[in-house]
């Protein structure tokens, strides 16, 4: 599975560690940056990941910023994206099972790195359940 990943400056430390962790788990990773903790604008990086997932260049996306909110909101501006802000592995699992989320957003300042690993691994290894949830997911897009 090909995973596209990015963050803002607040999430770059976790992003860097997650890339190594996910590669060890067998995921192919495309890193859209940033590479340093110098201040950046989170929408720039959210849009890169969202566009890549929407075009099918990446199967799923992972985003990190301080609260997770801004980067999540930015990704969700893309019609084909269902980005889920997750701070527990249980929420990540339900985001995939019931909502067919295709981008994971995490709040780097509010979870431990170990939690980020668990959340990402759960999200990336959970498949959409379909069934009754398919009808609901099909109603998410408004255009």
Residue numbers annotated as active site:
65, 98
Mutual orientation of helices 89-99 and 113-124 as an angle, nearest 10°? Answer: 20
- Tokens 């788990």 correspond to 25
Tell me if the bond preceding 34 is cis, omega within 30° of 0. yes
The pair of three-digit structure tokens given for residue 41, joined into one six-digit string: 């604008």
CB of 125 closer than 8 Å to CB of 26: no
């Amino acid at each position: 599975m090909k995973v596209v990943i990015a963050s803002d400056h607040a999430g770059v430390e976790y992003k860097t560690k997650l890339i190594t962790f996910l590669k060890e788990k067998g995921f192919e990773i495309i890193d859209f940056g940033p590479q340093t903790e110098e201040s950046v604008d989170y929408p720039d990086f959210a849009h890169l990941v969202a566009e890549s997932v929407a075009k099918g260049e990446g199967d799923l996306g992972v985003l990190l910023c301080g609260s997770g909110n801004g980067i999540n909101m930015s990704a969700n501006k893309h019609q084909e994206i269902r980005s889920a802000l997750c701070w527990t592995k249980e929420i990540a699992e339900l985001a995939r099972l019931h909502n067919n989320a295709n981008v994971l957003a995490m709040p780097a300042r509010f979870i431990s790195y170990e939690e980020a690993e668990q959340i990402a691994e759960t999200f990336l290894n959970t498949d959409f359940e379909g069934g009754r949830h398919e009808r609901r997911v099909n109603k998410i897009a408004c255009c």
